[in-house]
Amino acid sequence: MKDITCIADLRALARRRVPRAFFEYVDGGSYSEETLAANRADLTQLKLRQRVLVDVSERNLATTVLGRKISLPFILAPIGLCGMQYGNGEILSAQAANEAGIPFILSTMSVCSIEDVAEATRKPFWFQLYVIRDREFSRDILARARAANCDALVLTVDLQVLGQRHRDIKNGMTVPPEIRLKNVIDVATKPRWAWSILNGKRKTFGNLVGHLKGAESVTQLSKWVSAQFDPALNWKDVEWIKSVWPGKIIIKGILDVDDARTAVKLGADAIVVSNHGGRQLDGAPSSISMLPAVVDAVGSDTEVLFDGGIRTGADLLRALALGARACLIGRAYIYGLGAGGKRGVAKAIDILKSELSVSMALTGVNAVESVGPQVLVNPPPRTSAYGKA
């Protein structure tokens, strides 16, 4: 991986190594992909303030989230079917996160199960819950997460119905992967991927099979999700979840000030300002454009985390400058996984770490905890959204 110098290189390598249907499942967004594009465009609108002659020989990248110290101000986001980018993808990513001293969040829709990841890692990870119609299943999976020592619950609330992703339909993305005539050549030219998947523990949704009826025969993901996910989910259910999960709860998928306030009222220990990486409501504003207003409304009552569009250390600095306590990274590490398994994830983490460190130095700050709007040339007003979308 010596020629890999940035996340864009990992993406290019993943594109060569992962079959098209699975690469595009990661790379794409919903509908016209406007929000996907806005996430990146609005981040790069924020210009960093070059400062000189500050002693930056020592830089501290550590911070705390939910009262726990983490070595870097980012967390590996929950990614459904992570283990289809590379065999045992969830285990390898969790191990890379452990080694870097940052949390890993396991998706409900993962390939490796909660138990698989717990068995293969030494430190606790976080579990992300999608609430489906069968509430007994939710109760049961939360008990499994507790038994596996997961130390925080991430409740994702922006996927009650699925935003259509045209590319998945056109590519005929299925779970477990189906080798059709049209993708035989594609898979045949991706031997590393095929080998890793063949040697992986599982080839379908590890958390669901054996616990949920019908999960064995999942084929078209979009259809299955529409049938299982609960469109009736509402704020009252958050109270129910709190009653069955005694630990910390992070509500992920908040993009609106009123929703942020409700989440805090219901006792969220943290929220994630997120539009699901531009994969849900197309036409929604970028998540960075909503961050200042959310931080202004609830930043003193809860921890505000952020995701959407982070591809560089400079992006991390931008989000921290607007008040994010830490960021979740999605595609940035998943490209690494597809490019080279655990080594690729470690590389992605390393790239972001060193880019952040340099960006901090050149904006004249020594510690993540002292990053604020002072590192921006054009900090947007805290009380309003900004950006083009």
* 276 included as an active-site residue: yes
Q: Are 35 and 282 in contact (CB under 8 A)?
A: yes
Q: How far is the CB of 158 from ligand FMN (least distance, A)?
A: 8
Which residue number places its CB atom closest to ligand FMN? Answer: 330
Q: What angle do CA 227, 230, 231 make, to 5 degrees?
A: 100
Which one of residues 307, 313, 322, 348 is an interface residue with ligand FMN (CB under 6 A)? 307
What character string, x for contact with ligand FMN (CB under 6 A) and - otherwise, covers 326-345?
--xxxxx-------------
Interface of this chain with ligand FMN, residues 159 to 198, rule: CB under 6 A: none
Q: Does residue number 79 form part of the binding site for ligand FMN (CB under 6 A)?
A: yes
Sheet holding 126-129, edge to edge: 74-76, 326-329, 303-307, 270-273, 249-254, 153-156, 126-129, 105-106
Beta bridge partners of 76: 104, 329
- 307 dihedral zone (left: phi>0; alpha: psi -120 to 50; beta): beta
Closest distance to ligand FMN from the beta carbon of 382 (Å): 23
Q: Is position 309 an interface residue for ligand FMN (rule: CB under 6 A)?
A: yes
Whether 219 and 178 have beta carbons less than 8 Å apart is answered as yes
Q: Which stretch binds ligand FMN (CB under 6 A): 174-182, 242-250, 323-331, 350-358?
A: 323-331
Euclidean distance between CA atoms 104 and 1, whole angstroms: 23
Q: Residues 19, 73, 80, 206: which binds ligand FMN (CB under 6 A)?
A: 80
Q: Which of 276, 318, 331, 342 is catalytic?
A: 276
Q: Considering beta carbons, is residue 87 or 309 the nearer one to ligand FMN?
A: 309
CA nearest to 322, candidates 370, 369, 380, 278: 380
- DSSP assignment of 264-303 equals HHTT-SEEEE--GGGTSSTTPPPHHHHHHHHHHHHTTTSE
Nearer to ligand FMN, 11 or 276 (CB): 276
Using the rule CB under 6 A, is 61 a contact of ligand FMN?
no
User: Which position among 73, 78, 206, 338 is part of the footprint of ligand FMN (CB under 6 A)?
Assistant: 78
Q: Does 284 bind ligand FMN (CB under 6 A)?
A: no
Question: Least distance to ligand FMN from the beta carbon of 133, Å?
Answer: 17
How crowded is residue 251: how many other Cβ atoms within 10 Å of its Cβ?
Answer: 28
The least CB distance from residue 131 to ligand FMN, in Å, is: 12
Task: Report angle CA 202, 205, 210 to the nearest 5 degrees.
Answer: 90
**Count of CA atoms in the C-beta half-sphere (13 A) of 57:** 1
Q: Which residues participate in catalysis according to the annotation?
A: 276
Residues that bind ligand FMN (CB under 6 A): 25-26, 39, 77-80, 107, 109, 128, 156, 252, 274, 276-277, 279, 307-310, 328-332
